[in-house]
Structure 1
Amino acid sequence: MVVFSVFLLFSQAVRTSPEDTLKNNIDVIVIGAVYVLVVVFGVLVCIKRRIATFRRLQRIHKGSATRGVGEAPKQVMDFITQEYARSALIAYESVPKNVVQEGWGRPNSIYGNVHFRRALLDTIPDLDTLARSIIPHQPALRAHERMLSHFRFIAPLLPRDSDGLSPLHYYDSAIQLARFAEREMTEKEYEVAMGAVRAMKDVLEALDMEARLGSTLELNGSLPIASAAPSLS
């Protein structure tokens, strides 16, 4: 804006001059000198404010220090205490209470602060590790692979309900919902999915324990039996 105003004033001075030129035009010189003084004065004011601000900041104590009761008037300390208590009360009352966010567990419940989608997807590596202890040649886990396909080798080991569905079927449906559904999982869906996870873990852990016990018995049976000690009689 300043440059534009200078240009307009210069053009006005040229148009009103007898010679219609910038050469030997006293008005142009006066206008230029005034704007130079304005710029210089503005720079000086900015420098002065900068120095004043710097000096004020230098006087501020940089280290934090706890103020005791005797270091300030009682009225000031009481005011600070009241304001602090009021701020703390406002912050506490502002915290949402009994608010259920979609896809999260209800506050003050067993699923509090649990994100259903993330918690369910985190069970995949655990089940894969457990299944690999039963079947060492379990295929490698691939991204976005169906659980029915990945755990196909343990499917015959799982029980089935009256509808002919195993926990793996319910788990596969829940994983697909958690992966690709636009909406968040409900608490009921999460409970069904985690029930399927627990059922699968129970079967796999029982098989793993049975395999370990069988290996131990086989190892003990293969050890040589010490001959009886000769009689001293």
Structure 2
Amino acid sequence: LGISAYDIIRNAKDKEYYPYVYIASGSYFLTGFVTVLLGWCRLNLVKNALANIPKSSMPIKNRDLPNSVFNLITGELTRVSMIAWTGEPKPEDVNLPGWGRPGSDFDDIHFKSSMINTFSLIEQTALKKNSSLKRQPSMSVQRYIDLLIEHRVIDRGLGHAYVEGYERARFSEDEVPQEQYTEFMKLVLQLLRRLGYNGD
């Protein structure tokens, strides 16, 4: 195209057909300009079309795919959805470590906190039984239980078992399982009975 244009313009110029020179030059310039303009417009059109596609959109609709492929994809999506739904935990199955299972006798009980709080009940019960069993502010749980043992209010084995369970709950980073909590509370109940606790 460039050689043909050059030949036409040169021949017209040699023969001094200047109007033809202008016409030929203008025609080829206009053709080139229109070609570049159309290419640029097409490029922008494609870029805008791509930019307008939602990022989460996938061409998996019936109109986008052959029927066999569309049916395969929708079937797999349905199967995956069913698996996800059946594997999703139900509210009654959710059980956080260290907490009572919802709907059970231990509902909304944090085992560690409950075990730690038993000491104040033991202290209050012992004080009601004997005012001389008042705990000093600097006295540890271990020392106070030893005091109760010294006053023969509780026996040594029961007291030491309580301290062991209490300190495990108080200082361990691990949550307390329900079985351990149940056994500890049985121990607390025995201890309170020795102290004369009547539930008031």
Query: Which bracket does the TM-score occupy, shorter chain normalised?
Result: 0.3 to 0.5
Structure scoring higher RCO (CA < 8 A, sep ≥ 6) equals: 2
For normalisation by structure 2, the TM-score amounts to: 0.48
TM value normalised by structure 1: 0.41
Greater gyration radius: 2
Q: In proportion to residue count, which structure has more helix?
A: 2
